[in-house]
Amino acid sequence: MLEAVTFDFWETLAQDPPGNLRRTRDLRIEGLRDALRRAGLDRPLAAFQAAHDATGERLAALFRTGVDAGTREQVRLFLECLDPSLPAALAPGAWAALDEAYAAPALAFPPAVRPDAGAALWALRDRRVRIGLISNTGRTPGRVLRVVLQRAGMLEHFEALTFSDEAGIRKPDPRVFRWTLNKLGARPEGAAHVGDNLHTDVAGAQAAGLRGIHVVNGAPAPAPDPGVPNPAFDPESSAPVTPDAAIRSFDQLLAALEPFGLPPAP
């Protein structure tokens, strides 16, 4: 019997509208520059833009190792890319403003939640299936994504949330799936994970003993510049992956889960 279903966030439950990554990039740079101005440590705009892109490249390299970094570590990395002397020169009280400027742009320009996702989550709850979320994060940390989910009326559905910036490791590491199932009190053989990425979501779930359900979106759109890595897309993965089921919309989810012992409707 299916006990739990976990979901990916980016490109599965929600997608950035066209241009959103550029808008959040610009707002992040503006906020970081303002915070450093107030600390008496301004630099030219072009230097901020170059540092943002360089940080993205270094983060992308880190992510490929399966490791993640929290907001404070990412801000420190950004400052080192901007000027290696800045982290030591910054007063302790200035860090919080930088953290907020770096992490919060998605609250001003939130991703669009898929309109058919809410009904699927309600249907799973009606069948007493426990629901979790497992998300790789980029520059937007889990604490901000919780607010995005709350504003979209979706947070209440999730009994467990695992974000890579908080866990310190990223999908497809099987540990993030197992940790989430432990929170849900579910067994891998009684669980399925739903996500758009064949490598991080489907293969990662299957390696942990879950069923892997592929959300077929087509090829993900490339990031608008090399300094903004897409946390949901791994273009370097070429290993063949066979999902246990595939869907193109969430109204197909219950039918896809039926063969795995989906509990009957009440």
In the chain, what are the domain boundaries? 4-16+112-260, 20-108
Q: What is the pLDDT of residues 229-240, one digit of tens each?
A: 444 444 445 568
pLDDT given at position 240: 85
- Domain 4-16+112-260: CATH class, spelled out: alpha beta
Three-class DSSP labels, the chain: CCCEEEECCECCCEECCCCHHHHHHHHHHHHHHHHHHHCCCCCCHHHHHHHHHHHHHHHHHHHCCCECCCHHHHHHHHHHHHCCCHHHHCCHHHHHHHHHHHHCHHHHCCCEECCCHHHHHHHHHHCCCEEEEEECCCCCCHHHHHHHHHHCCCHHHCCEEEEHHHHCECCCCHHHHHHHHHHHCCCHHHEEEEECCHHHHHHHHHHCCCEEEEECCCCCCCCCCCCCCCCCCCCCCCCCCCCCEEECCHHHHHHHHHHHCCCCCC
The single-letter code of the amino acid at 111 is P
pLDDT given at position 53: 97
pLDDT given at position 221: 38
CB of 247 closer than 8 Å to CB of 217: no
Question: Which residue has 């910054």 as its token pair?
Answer: 90
Please give the share of the chain, as a percent, with pLDDT higher than 70.
Answer: 92
pLDDT given at position 266: 86
pLDDT given at position 224: 37
How many other C-beta atoms can be found within 10 angstroms of the C-beta atom of residue 80? 16
Look up the pTM and report it. Answer: 0.91
pLDDT given at position 239: 67
CB of 170 closer than 8 Å to CB of 68: yes
CA 127 to chain centre: 27
Instruction: Give, in order, the Cα–Cα distances in Å from 82 to each of 32, 125, 172, 176.
Output: 11, 47, 31, 33
Going from the first residue of the chain to its last (266 residues), give the mean pLDDT of each consecutive group of 10, the final group possibly shorter: 97 95 97 96 96 97 97 98 95 95 98 94 97 97 98 96 98 97 98 97 98 82 39 52 96 97 93
pLDDT given at position 14: 96
CA–CA separation, 258 and 235 (whole Å):
31
